[in-house]
């Protein structure tokens, strides 16, 4: 697997983990909530991938640059609200509580920054 693919799959796995943790913290980690989990995960993963390619987040030289790590947080500020908008449309206008969006932005950004930091350290020490 090349570095670009590793970054992309790593990001998607982190988004899946963050989504599962979010539902688990609200005791909604069961099959009956699968549609709602999918309505959050797929739009966020899609928005992240689109923004990631647009901002060159999957380029190995960008991921190996510590200063470029902040682009991950910046992209999260746009990807999560876009995902919440799509989620609301998919779930027939289900309301979006602003604090949930803010928390999800923060948790997603932290998760992605942690993963990308591990990747950075691995590449740097290789």
Q: What is the pLDDT of residue 63?
A: 84
CA–CA dist 120, 126 (Å, integer): 10
- Of 91, 98, 84, the closest CA to residue 33 belongs to 91
Q: What is the pLDDT of residue 95?
A: 73
Q: With beta carbons less than 8 A apart as the criterion, state whether 107 and 21 touch.
A: yes
- Of 57, 82, 44, the closest CA to residue 7 belongs to 57
Which residues constitute the domain of residue 81? 3-124
Q: What is the pLDDT of residue 71?
A: 92
Q: Tell me which DSSP letter residue 65 carries.
A: -
Model pTM? 0.91
Spatial CB neighbours of 35, under 8 Å, sequence gap ≥ 6 = none
Number of domains in the chain: 1
What SS3 state is found at 44?
helix
Residues of the chain with pLDDT under 50: none
- Of 83, 89, 3, the closest CA to residue 50 belongs to 83
Q: What is the pLDDT of residue 53?
A: 94
Angle at 88 between CA 23 and CA 107, to 5 degrees: 40
Q: With beta carbons less than 8 A apart as the criterion, state whether 84 and 108 touch.
A: no
């Amino acid at each position: 697997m090349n570095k670009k693919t590793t970054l992309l799959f790593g990001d998607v796995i982190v988004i899946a983990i963050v989504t599962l943790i979010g539902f688990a913290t609200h005791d909604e980690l069961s099959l009956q909530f699968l549609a709602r989990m999918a309505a959050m995960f797929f739009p966020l993963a899609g928005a992240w991938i689109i923004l990631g390619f647009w901002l060159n987040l999957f380029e190995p030289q960008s991921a190996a640059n510590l200063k470029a790590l902040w682009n991950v947080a910046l992209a999260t500020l746009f990807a999560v609200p876009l995902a919440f908008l799509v989620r609301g449309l998919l779930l027939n206008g289900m309301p979006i509580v602003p604090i949930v969006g803010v928390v999800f932005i923060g948790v997603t950004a932290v998760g992605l920054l942690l993963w990308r930091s591990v990747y950075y350290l691995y590449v740097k020490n290789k």
